[in-house]
Chains A and B, each alone.
Chain A
């Protein structure tokens, strides 16, 4: 497995890439909050929000459809919202029969469903763009400056650092299991479901012990280098005038979205 298998960063030389990570984090959160606050059926505001996403895509030199292609990750969850199609009272739009039940889609239900899916679709695109234009350690560092407790951000940066190491450990465990899971032709193999689950559980236990011991080693190594409960970093952050300008413009854009959505 390649060491950047988990990395979502796409290196380019755009001004969005150069933007201060704190500002990018603030804009992303503000955009998602703004979407959540838009009322149902605020089509013009939704369109403005989409333009905002497209502009951010274009300015980041990743291609205007970059986040669009990756934005379907949240779609399966739309199933959870499907019931509002039928359950909100309103004018019937269409109805159909499925097995023994009669379903009637109402206009109010349709409006609500489409609004929920659009909000989610726009929000997830912004989150995708954030990790594509910002290195993950910088995001974590920005969170520290945005008053997320240092313990949490330090643990997250550790998680990120050892994710690849432990994933490789899992890959080895899985490969070892596969190598020993031979089946003769035409015969059922693999044991019962319970047996398979138990093997997976043993592997998880094994992984736990290896991780636990590794964390001990890591701690000792850190102690030997003078660790005193705090991680030292050299990430100088300076806000530039352009950072503030872009932050202000983006927030202004969101205020306009809110106004058009509510008027």
Chain B
């Protein structure tokens, strides 16, 4: 069978009722805006275009490439959809894809579908499109590199959101689940970034009018850039907090009444991931996170440059 399940699809039973309900509420609110916006911009063409594009994302997830040792990478598609279709349509399209994966293939639960939509459809669209929107008017190389970084970060953001939901449901230990989720998806995200950049390069070469500035897909306002950057910063700030300094977040969650039984740390996977100059402060972990992100961005820049040379 060609269809391969993605690791961000949470099955039923792993999120508590209250967390599932809150995620459904958020997703439903955002989606209702997304539906009315796409309806306004596309009119009656909305259904056939969005429907076939949803089938495209579904089918594109089957295009795999061998990585190493029998494993293979494939696309998740949130960022790519947001860049080629625009953010609101991408949200609707990703929702349809997630709904079919869950209903037809049981890849992801029904009660937790609100959370899956939030993690894989909404957050990925905002980050994917927002960061890309922020560099409109720049050279093609900059846009492609940022698109790759946005694709990587959107996967990381989805992973972080999943980890936080699992922890709030009392299903996982915060530090362990964040570290594993982010660790695994840092690699998956690189595949996502490479495929997204290559797909965009191809589309820009063959049909530049389709996704360039002024096209239907690029109608999102500057607010998207702000939203994308804000959400990305949240991911960058929250990740080191959750993985290296979980106590603060745990206290907040206990105060809010999410978790009533305190969970102790399992073990320390990494020696505290801080900067020696700043000592053991939250600021230090945040700085460590930011520096980590910059290293990855630099890596993406280099990769983008070599891609540009070859193609």
Residues in A lying within 8 Å of B, measured CB to CB: 5-6, 8, 28-29, 32-33, 35-37, 73-74, 77, 80-81, 83-84, 86-89, 101-103, 108, 112, 116-124, 127-128, 130-131, 136, 139, 149, 151-152, 154-163, 165-167, 169-171, 173-174, 190, 193-194, 196-209, 211-212, 214-215, 218-219, 222, 227-229, 231
B186 to nearest A CB, angstroms? Answer: 15
A205 touching B14 in the complex, CB below 8 Å, given contacts A29-B111, A166-B58: no
Docked complex Cα distance between A252 and B58 (Å):
38
Binds A, one of B48-56, B124-132, B135-143, B230-238: B48-56
Contact A83:B110 (CB < 8 A) given known A117-B13, A202-B198? no
For chain B, give the interface size range.
35 or more
Measured between beta carbons, the chain B residues less than 8 angstroms from A155 are 47, 50-51, 54, 92-93, 96
Pairwise interchain contact A77-B14, C-beta atoms closer than 8 A: yes
Residues from chain A with Cβ under 8 Å of B96 in the complex: 152, 155-156, 159
A201 to B190, CA, bound (A): 12
Closest to A100 in B: B267
Q: Is B225 an interface residue (CB 8 A)?
A: no
Closest 8 CB pairs of A and B: A158-B51, A201-B198, A120-B13, A205-B202, A229-B44, A119-B13, A74-B11, A123-B12
CB distance B55 to A116 under 8 Å? no
Contact call A83/B60, Cβ cutoff below 8 A: no
Q: Are A194 and B210 in contact (CB under 8 A)?
A: no
Looking at the complex, which one of A5, A37, A200 makes contact with B63 (CB distance below 8 Å)?
A200
B12/A36 in contact, CB under 8 A: yes
Chain A residues lying within 8 Å of B68, measured Cβ to Cβ, are: 193
CB-CB under 8 A from A122, the residues of chain B are: 13
**A81-B14, A159-B58, A197-B195 are contacts. A32–B110 as well, Cβ < 8 Å?**
yes
Q: Are A120 and B14 in contact (CB under 8 A)?
A: yes
Q: Tell me the complex Cα distance, A169–B196, Å.
A: 19
What are the residues of chain A within 8 A of B154 when measuring CB–CB?
none
Q: A159-B97, A159-B100 are in contact. Are A33 and B66 (CB under 8 A)?
A: no
Residue of A with least CB distance to B1: A5
Q: Please, how many angstroms separate the alpha-carbon atoms of A166 and B166 in the complex?
A: 34
Q: When the two chains form their complex, are residues B20 and A36 in contact, meaning their CB atoms are under 8 A apart?
A: yes
The answer to whether A131 and B103 have CB atoms under 8 Å apart is yes
Contacting pair B103 A209 (CB below 8 A): no
Given contacts A73-B5, A170-B2, contact A208 B62 (CB under 8 A): no
- The verdict on A166 contacting B59 (CB below 8 Å), with A87-B266, A208-B203 known, is yes
Evaluate contact between A116 and B171: CB separation under 8 angstroms: yes
Write 6 A-B pairs (CB below 8 A) sorted by A numbering. A84-B170, A86-B266, A158-B50, A171-B2, A204-B75, A219-B49
Q: Which residue of A lies closest to B306 (CB)?
A: A194
User: How many angstroms from the CA of A115 to the CA of B238 in the assembled complex?
Assistant: 30
Task: State the CA gap A116–B172 with chains docked (Å).
Answer: 11
Considering only residues 286-311 of chain B, those with a C-beta below 8 Å from chain A are 303, 306-307, 310-311
B interface residue numbers (CB < 8 A to A): 1-3, 5, 10-17, 20, 31-32, 35, 39, 43-56, 58-60, 62-68, 73-75, 80, 84, 92-93, 95-97, 99-100, 102-107, 109-111, 166, 170-173, 176-177, 191, 194-203, 206-207, 210, 261-267, 303, 306-307, 310-311
How many angstroms from the CA of A194 to the CA of B32 in the assembled complex? 39
A88 to B197, CA, bound (A): 43
Q: A5-B1, A32-B110 known; 17 other A-B pairs, CB under 8 Å? A: A36-B13, A77-B11, A83-B177, A122-B13, A128-B106, A151-B46, A158-B54, A159-B96, A166-B58, A197-B195, A200-B63, A200-B75, A202-B198, A204-B80, A207-B60, A207-B63, A218-B52
Q: Using Cβ atoms and an 8 Å threshold, which residues of chain A touch B100?
A: 156, 159-160, 163
Q: How far is the CA of A122 from the CA of B24 in the complex (A)?
A: 21
| Inter-chain contacts of B310 with A (CB < 8 A) | 198
Partner of B47, one of A33, A36, A158, A211: A158
In Å, the complex CA distance between A99 and B303 comes to 36
Interface centre among B5, B31, B60, B97 (most CB of A within 10 A): B60
B211 nearest CB neighbor, chain A only: A208
